[in-house]
Structure 1
Amino acid sequence: MIAWTRIALLAVGLALATATQGADVGGKTPTGVRYDGGDEILLQGFHWNSVRAGGGKVWYVMLARNAPRIAADGFTAIWMPPPWVDEPKSATQGGEGYFWNRFDKNSLYGSDADLRAAVAAMRGAGVKLIYDIVPNHIDRARLPQSQPGNDVAPADRWLFRDDCPDRTQCDDGEPFFSGDADLDLTKFANLDRFRAELVNLRDNYGASGFRFDFVKGYAGRHVDDWMRQVADGGFCIGELWTDPGAGNSWQDPLKRWSDAARCTVFDFSLKAKFQAGPGEIADWQHSLGGNPDASYRSIAVTFVDNHDTGASPGVNGGQHLWSLTDEHLRQLAYAYILTTPGTPSVYWPDMYNDDGSDATFHNYIKALIALRREAGVVADSTVSFKSGPGWIVALVGTPVRIVVSLNSPFVDARQIGIQGFTARFANADRSVRIWLAGQPTTVTKRFACDVATIPGEDMVAVGADPALGGWNPDKGLRLAWHDDAAPHWRGAVDLPSSFNEWKCVKVTKGRPPEWQPGANNVTSPDPAETETAHF
């Protein structure tokens, strides 16, 4: 499990234990992008090997069973896998939904009835369903009309990229591999069949929006048309994974596609910066979600990994095409996407195991979601940054509501030049620190110095806070000697319930203070814990 810290435990325990569902905002951005108010927190409800979990055909059942806890963990929407039949190529390959052949809902994720039960459970828990849609390509070799004895009427046949009379390629996007499986989305017949299926998903399977796969394969205007006809007030996302080339901005093609489709888009500009390593953390601000222009921030769907880029439990470890493998950097990346603008998307294996139980990052992510919601961070919140080599601090909101420090040298929000903030969260090594606006709660903290002394020597707890002397041993907390049990030098003082760095100092009349060697101690958020230093 990931070690993390709750600050001001008494004050915020309930907020971190359960992320209460707030009122759904809804609506588009000022430029007409369908971001559903910008307040969604998205869970990717599957990974590459989900179709093989538990022997197959059990995934929808598991989702239905876990719908209440998904909502309780703070997620407002779930990104569902492609719902259509995808014939497996072998016991270890295929069936994921990305090489489908018909709109049948009896897939390797479960039966049509299982899907409907999962839909009912999610909607009952207040979680919206965003279906993965794959319009660009199809398993051409396994289409019903390609089977012996099947005589499909011409009006029911799909039209393909290579169906032009002169055998040239007719389509308005890039090919999927060779392009021989690509549907021609310039043809009304194809577009209308997808429109009808999206209506079906909306009316009969609870769809509140759609995630569009491989959008570089077709014009963004088709997505805009579908959404306008089917779910104009819903949520939509496009997957535009394309390297713009050396020296070119990742943000520009993402924004151009969003402008055409009027949908949000996965922030691959940020993903690229995550992959650059810990030395480039300061560069995270140069992404869609960190852009000074709100029209860029509002379209960003930020993510750490997904079914394509990340590893998956099970066969071959999934695809892991561009995985962020450094666990510490993943902690920083999740802290960033869950506290800054954009719509955050959490990858299933980071949050849950295949049976719905807690995965490695579960408690860590849940706590960050609760803080995001408490601070009121949404997709187009304002943000400013302070940064240096290998570190970044994000100040989010107008006025600032949350301050997020990643690998920075600051241990108190006042060092950043802002007042009235309470430390609320940190991971074990304090590389992630989060402060929220509001007056700090005062708690009684007990200090102890485990040190051998002789008569005439006294011990003082000295720290940054004025109650600990502001690093002046003459004004620090004088500890008293107790004979009962070690550590013998102990004392208590009222302190703000935030991080406090401190040290033990040995003072002797007529001699300079003797400071505890090494790094500063940092107080625990637990008011019941005695702060003990060994000297």
Structure 2
Amino acid sequence: MKNVRLILSGLSLLLAILFSSCSDPVTEQQTSANKDDAITTTDNSQARLPGPGGGVLMQAFYWDVPAGGNWYDSIKDKIPSWDAAGISAIWLPPVSKAQNGAYSMGYDPADYFDFGDYNQHGSVETRFGNKAELVSLINTAHSYDIDVYADIVLNHNSGGALEPNPYTGTNTYTDFNPASGKFYRSASDFHPNSYATYDEGIFGGFPDLSHSAPYVQDWLWNRADGVGKYYRDSLGFDGWRFDYVKGFGGWVVKEWMNNVGGFAVGEYWDGNAQLLQDWVNATNRTSSAFDFACYYKMDEAFDGNDLTKLQDDMLWKRDAYKSVTFVTNHDTDIIGDKMHAYAYIMTHEGYPTVFYNDFEQWLDKDKLINLIWIHNNKAVGSTSIQYADNDEYIARRNGSPGLIVYLNDSNVWVERWVQTNWSTSSIKDYTGNSNWQPTTQTDKWVKIQCPPNSYSVWSPL
């Protein structure tokens, strides 16, 4: 396509529509109740919001990162470049000693206060390092104004010794004698016990921690030297990613947040946006949730060549401040067309997450950095869907400066007339995928384009 600068005069809307066979806009669909021109929040939905578009989270690990205790140091070395790329927070894997010691990814927690300094469960260090290295990483991140979120596993424990269990009449692996000397546990701290027979879910047959037990509550969130407050005050964590929250009631996260504070996001693994919203509400809106509804709809849209799916229900459309969007994570990686997906989450509402492998190994890092910059500087305000069919999708962010995002899943260049936020303004595609620099009409309409199998993002010069 030639480099053409469109100079649009005061043509009427009818003439503009007739000008191109691809120029029929559809009625816009308002997709968020947020009417603010800039993202602001009075709750703790996002710990930091640098720039008009808000923050971007980096998942700073993947499944089976290299063992050997060097991961914290490896991540610390990346902090300066991640800061330069526009990352505002990082999410670490579970930091405490687990049953499989140096081989564990941390999701089988045994001693919540052993961060790689006690010889138990087959190792001294965790897979990722030791406490001094962890604290050094957190302090380095803070020196760049980057927050650090801990992965918290509250549903289950692993690695206890066998003991007679009076509640089951059998022997169970519920005798926990941590080398740290903190948070001893026995059968009375797991289901069934004298407080509750069961809760919302059991994971993998592991002993199911009973949050109804006052002793457990004290050690998790009440005590000044308990898990939550120790992680906050002594380690320096700023927020929490709660694992497998389907396994316990939303009130558990609410109590943690009311006593400990910070940012929170829960892994409620379900593609039903209503259920995600229900869980957020069950925490008394103290926590965000990963937007699995958005995740699965992006897979249907981009891998299924049906961009109309992007009009469907998602958590960010219901509750933008409580949606953490993502393209892949350490557990699931089903979206093949990832660049379209990143273009979507970086230009729409929600708190977008970048996956370590996508950024450092698999995708074009420069393109991801460009999308992060667009998010941080342009992606402001509520969202209006302007057009959607199998191959094309156009949406507008209505804040200042705002943007127009154009997604094209076809093999040809496409162009379309759209209504913008800007009157008589020169605009450009900030991805560089199109070199047009058109000027909007006085009525804010303009013609934009998108390359084959690509995306463009338009905003004033």
> TM-score, normalised to structure 2's length?
0.73
Classify 1:383/1:170 alpha carbon distance in 2 versus 1 (closer, same or farther; 3 Å).
farther
Alignment of 1:281-320 (within 5 A): 281-288=307-314, 291=317, 293=318, 296-310=319-333
1:87 Cα offset (Å)? 3.1
> What SS does the aligned partner of 2:90 have?
strand
Q: 1:201 is matched with which residue: 207, 212, 231?
A: 231
Q: Which runs of 5+ in 2 are unaligned?
A: 6-37, 117-125, 163-172, 435-450
Amino acid at match of 1:111: N
Q: Which runs of 5+ in 1 are unaligned?
A: 1-7, 9-24, 244-249, 311-322, 354-358, 440-535
Query: 2:93 aligned with 1:111, yes or no?
Result: no
Amino acid at match of 1:163: P
Amino acid at match of 1:251: A
Counterpart contact for 1:381–1:396, Cα < 8 Å: yes
Amino acid at match of 1:224: K
1:424 Cα offset (Å)? 2.0
Counterpart contact for 1:408–1:431, Cα < 8 Å: yes
Alignment correspondent of 2:242:
212
State the distance in 1 between where 2:417 and 2:39 align. Answer: 37
Q: Which of the pair has more CA radius of gyration?
A: 1
Counterpart contact for 2:94–2:107, Cα < 8 Å: yes
Amino acid at match of 2:323: A
Counterpart contact for 1:288–1:299, Cα < 8 Å: no
Deviation sequence 1:160-215 (CA, Å, 0-9, x none): 4433259xx6233122134x421011222112211121111111222111110100
Q: 1:351 is matched with which residue: 351, 359, 362?
A: 359
Alignment of 1:430-509 (within 5 A): 430-439=452-461
Classify 1:158/1:288 alpha carbon distance in 2 versus 1 (closer, same or farther; 3 Å).
farther
Classify 1:411/1:142 alpha carbon distance in 2 versus 1 (closer, same or farther; 3 Å).
farther
State the distance in 1 between where 2:431 and 2:129 align. Answer: 39
Amino acid at match of 2:45: R
Counterpart contact for 1:140–1:181, Cα < 8 Å: no
Alignment of 1:229-248 (within 5 A): 229-231=259-261, 234-242=262-270
> What SS does the aligned partner of 2:98 have?
coil
1:115 Cα offset (Å)? 0.5
RMSD (Å), alpha carbons: 3.3
Q: How many residues align?
A: 372
Alignment correspondent of 2:169:
none
> What SS does the aligned partner of 1:301 have?
strand
Alignment correspondent of 2:368:
365
Deviation sequence 1:45-85 (CA, Å, 0-9, x none): 111111xx1x4210001111111111111100001111111
Alignment correspondent of 2:218:
192
Alignment correspondent of 1:513:
none
1:37 Cα offset (Å)? 6.3
Q: 1:424 is matched with which residue: 425, 430, 440?
A: 430
Question: Which structure carries more relative contact order (alpha carbon 8 Å, separation 6+)?
Answer: 2
State the distance in 1 between where 2:177 and 2:294 align. Answer: 48
Q: 1:174 is matched with which residue: 178, 201, 209?
A: 201
State the distance in 1 between where 2:406 and 2:188 align. Answer: 52
Alignment correspondent of 1:273:
297
1:285 Cα offset (Å)? 3.3
Amino acid at match of 1:434: S
Classify 1:361/1:206 alpha carbon distance in 2 versus 1 (closer, same or farther; 3 Å).
farther
Q: 2:78 is matched with which residue: 45, 62, 66?
A: 66
State the distance in 1 between where 2:338 and 2:39 align. Answer: 30
Deviation sequence 1:298-324 (CA, Å, 0-9, x none): 2111101100113xxxxxxxxxxxx32
Alignment of 1:392-431 (within 5 A): 392-398=393-399, 401-407=402-408, 415-418=417-420, 420=425, 421-425=427-431, 430-431=452-453
